[in-house]
A and B are shown apart, each in its own frame.
Chain A
C-alpha cells in the first residue's frame, strides 16, 4: 500500500483538530501552551510532506522557521507566565480579566 500526500495531510488535520480542541477546552495556561505546540507540529508535518512529494525544499524551510518561532514563543510565554504566577499565584485563564474593557 502506497502512502501518498493525502495520508499525511489527513494525519496533520487530525492532529490539528486535537490541538484545536485542546485550545478550546483548557483552562490552565500551561496546558494551553501544550495545545499550541500540537498545532504548530501538525502544520510542520504537512509542510514536510508537501516538500517531499513536490520535490521542493521550501516546505522544509518553512518548517524550520515555524520551529524557531515556536521556541521563541515558549521562551517569552513562559517568562510572562512566571511573572503572572508570582503576582497572582495562579495561572487560570478565567482570572485574567484585567484587560477586559
Chain B
C-alpha cells in the first residue's frame, strides 16, 4: 500500500519536474527542476531496494552533474529567454508515433523475456551495498576499470577544453593587466 502511494506520488512529481525542465523558457527553472527530478528518481531506486544506486544517483547527479551545469551556466547568458524552435507538425507527429511504438515494445518486453533467469542472483543475508560490491569487483571488474579510465579521459578533456587561461586570476592581476588582456582578446576576435 505504502509502496503504491510512494510510487504514484514520486511518478507524478518526476513527470511534472521533467516536463517543466523540457518546456520552460527560463534556463534557471530548467536547471532547478531537473535537479529536483533527479532527486525524485532516486526515490524509485530506494523503493526498488537498490539503495546504493539511489545514493549514487543523488551524489553524482544532483551533486556533480548539476554543479557542473550551474558552473557552465555562469559562462552563458542565462537571463535571456531560451528561443524555441517553431513547432514542426511532421516532427511532432513522428515523435508521438515513435513514443507509441516504444510503449508497446517496452510493455511487451517482459512478456517475451518470460523465460530469462538471473545471471547474478541476489545473495541471501547480504545488504544491497555488499551485493553490489561482490558483483562489481568480480564479474564486472574489467568494465569498472574501463569506466575509471573513461572518467579520467573525460576529466583531462574537460580541463584542456575549459581550462584555458585558468592560470590567470582576475583578482590577483592589476587593473592595467586586465585591460591589456581585454585588448588582446578584442584583437584576436577581430582577426578570427
Contacts and interface: CB of A to CB of B under 8 A. Distances in A.
Interface of A: 1-3, 5-22, 24-28, 30-31, 33-35, 37-38, 41, 44-46, 48-52, 54-58, 60-61, 63-65, 67-76, 78-83, 85-87, 91-92
Interface size class of B (residues with CB under 8 A): 35 or more
Contact of A28 (B83, B98, B132, B139): B83
B34 A34 contact: yes
B57 A67 contact: yes
Nearest to A49: B48
A30 to B, nearest CB: 6
Contacts of A71: 60, 64-65, 151, 154
A34 B83 CA distance: 15
Interface in B123-143: 131-132, 135-136, 139-140, 143
A42 to B, nearest CB: 8
B12 to A, nearest CB: 10
Given A48-B48, A79-B157, A74 B7 contact: no
B181 interface: no
Given A55-B118, A56-B122, A72-B151, A2 B192 contact: no
Nearest to B143: A65
Contacts of A63: 50, 53
Contacts of A16: 99, 102
A24 B95 contact: yes
Candidate in B1, B85, B98, B116 with the most chain A CB atoms within 10 angstroms: B85
B72 A76 contact: no
B99 A64 contact: no
Candidate in A2, A17, A55, A75 with the most chain B CB atoms within 10 angstroms: A75
Contacts of A20: 95, 98-99
A7 B107 CA distance: 9
A76 to B, nearest CB: 5
